Amino acid sequence: MGTFGDAAEPQVRPLDIGGTQFEIYRRIAASSPQSFLFESLSGPETLAETSIIGFDPDETITGYADRLVIEGRDGSSRTVRTDDPVAELRRVLPRAPQGRHRYLGGAVGIVEYEAAGLWEARAPLERDAPLMEFGVYSDGILFDSSEGRPYYFFTGEDRSASIVRAEPARGPFSHSGLRAEPDAAGFERAVEEAREHVRAGDIFQAVLSRRFGFEYGGDPMRVYERLRELNPSPYLYHMKMRNRTIMGASPEMLVRVTGRRVETFPIAGTRPITGDAARDAALGEEMAGDEKEVAEHVMLVDLGRNDIGRVCEPGSVRAEDLMSVRRFSHVQHMVTHVTGTLRGDLDAIDAFGAVFPAGTVTGAPKVRAMEIISSLERARRGGYAGAVGYFASGGSCDFAIAIRSMFLEGGRGYVQAGAGIVYDSVPESELRETEHKAGALLAALREASA
């Protein structure tokens, strides 16, 4: 089977192996230089569907502004020079018939925040840094939450025997030197500057973030193990990539394409779940009646409708369950389900580009907000506020916004978290919001080191 171009229809069969998806993945990852686990453990049923495992990809694609670097499992490497890396990515991705499962192989990885310039000409575009990285997988394991059993799928080589033989490994982990950049005073100054832009009419909102950096050593799998227990989410992920590990517990879909159906789920508004049903209901009602929360949510819904409207059939875009209160593991959010029908001349990559990056991590208007973010944050965001997910060989895609995520490379790691700055934002409150959003990841970091 050739990795690129048209591929045969994948075969799917039950996998005779015991354990949860995490237990199986930990065994596989111990002997695989590159692997991934995508889990759905909580949240609305429309989000929490299928968990996926992949290991040792056929190829790795690293995308830059002017080239794709394609490296094979056999050690081969080639560079494709191009002035349109998105078109080149579309050309080299594998294609196969769409089965009953959204994912049966394809390109799995991350698109960095700074890749926005590949789709949006007005956004700044870095020339030298990698903007996306995908592993191309032709087999893997599916866990359907409705059936509760694993399936192995493959196109070409059947590697299921190596899964059954895999042995688990568990090493120590430690971290040190946790620090926030910018510090509290610096972030509060940036909030005031962003508010000045809002007052001047430049933007309605800008999402400013802080980075919590640290040094680490040992096995990051211990951190992910604690994270999935502390913060089960619709989009849980652990990816061992060539030079780095990325893990996260994102509550928010960026975009999903199934057949011709396009979906996005804007989230704005958060209240805790206390365990007291009456108290939780009151908190949900209070959130739904909060003028600031509602205004922010409506702005993001309008942005989502406009984004997918660029690639959908005229008149097909709908906002379903507008501002409904949905329960997640520890919090309740105000959520709207925005859907549309993809135009016949476009594909999942077009749909991705129409919504990337999410308005919930930029603000609005999107491009001007990104310019202001760049001037106030100064350091590149990298993976934070980008997207983690897949372009399936059958033509579908599913991506989470890369928030509530941790990035580890070469002994250094970071967590990044943002707050939406509007006209009446209070700097101290926005500072606390960044700390709250980073809380579960930093707790997992501490507990994994204990």
Taking the CA atoms of residue 303, residue 379, residue 225 and residue 166 in that order, the dihedral angle to the nearest 10 degrees is: 100
Q: What is the pLDDT along the chain (450 residues), one digit of tens a residue?
A: 334 456 678 899 999 888 889 999 999 998 899 999 999 876 555 555 689 999 999 999 999 999 999 999 999 999 999 999 999 999 998 888 777 789 999 999 999 999 999 998 777 777 789 999 999 999 999 987 677 789 999 998 899 888 877 777 778 999 999 999 999 999 999 999 999 999 999 999 999 999 999 999 999 999 999 999 998 888 999 999 988 999 999 989 999 999 999 999 888 777 888 888 999 899 889 988 888 888 888 988 999 999 999 999 999 999 988 888 887 767 788 899 999 999 999 999 999 999 999 999 999 999 999 999 999 998 999 999 999 999 999 999 999 999 999 999 999 999 999 999 999 999 999 999 999 899 999 999 999 998
Q: What distance in Å separates the CA atoms of residue 400 and residue 255, rounded to the nearest whole number?
A: 7
Where are the domains positioned within the chain? 5-260+344-449
Per-residue confidence (pLDDT) for residue 149, from 0 to 100? 84
Distance set, CA 366 to CA 280, 357, 358 (Å): 33, 9, 9
Per-residue confidence (pLDDT) for residue 5, from 0 to 100? 52
Confirm if 223 and 448 have CB atoms less than 8 A apart.
yes
What is the Cα Rg of the chain in Å? 21
Per-residue confidence (pLDDT) for residue 312, from 0 to 100? 98
Q: What is the pTM of this model?
A: 0.93
Active site residues: 333, 360, 384, 404, 420
Per-residue confidence (pLDDT) for residue 267, from 0 to 100? 84
Q: What distance in Å separates the CA atoms of residue 431 and residue 102, rounded to the nearest whole number?
A: 39
Taking the CA atoms of residue 262, residue 109, residue 236 and residue 245 in that order, the dihedral angle to the nearest 10 degrees is: -160
The one-letter code for the residue type at 264 is: T
Look at the domain 5-260+344-449 and name its fold. Anthranilate synthase (3.60.120)
Per-residue confidence (pLDDT) for residue 138, from 0 to 100? 94
